[in-house]
Amino acid sequence: MLIPARMSEAEEQRWVTVMLDKLQAQENRRMPGDGELADRAQRLSAQYLDGRARPRSVRWVTNQNTRWGSCTPAEGTIRLSHRLKGMPEYVIDYVLIHELAHLLVPGHGPRFWDLVGAYPRTERARGYLEGVVAGESLPFIPRPTPTSPPPGSD
């Protein structure tokens, strides 16, 4: 996030505090436990996949930092990354639908995407997740301090 140059240090500090408070509130928002996540997956399967996807377990995991979710069709297990916690519910539902569809179709072919496409917020959720990934890859550009020379003045 870029901070306007006209902002004083006091204003900047106030906004940093406001944004940190918002982030903390997001993190503290109650997220479903594993049992509730499994119930949610069952409801989504019934609503969008005619109840055909029946996972044996659905749980949060902390060891997935490059994937939003994963599925082992042979075992009927679905795992969602803890990184999804605090994201909008429709995004979590999309990842659940994606993994539920893998219980029915292992690859990412047209049949798989037809199943996932039954969820009406698929494109919106995918866009949200793409934005998160893009935001994580942006470089941090520190704001020059009043005593530091402007870039390229050496």
- Hey, where are the domains in the chain? 29-137
Taking the domain 29-137, which CATH number applies?
Answer: 3.30.2010.10
Task: Give me the pLDDT at residue 34, please.
Answer: 82
Paired tokens of 61: 């995991």
Q: Pick the closest to residue 80 from 46, 48, 32, 119 (CA basis).
A: 32
pLDDT above 70: percentage of residues in the chain: 79
Phi, psi of 150 (to 5 degrees): -65, 150
3-state helix, strand, coil in the chain (%, to 5): 50, 10, 40
| 25-84 tens-digit pLDDT | 555 455 678 889 999 999 999 999 999 999 999 999 999 988 999 999 999 999 999 999
Between 73 and 136, the higher pLDDT residue: 73
Rounded distance between C-alpha atoms, residue 36 and residue 107, angstroms: 27
The answer to which of 61-75, 97-111, 131-145 has the lowest mean pLDDT is: 131-145
Q: Tell me the residue type at 15.
A: W
Residue 18 vs residue 39, higher pLDDT: 39
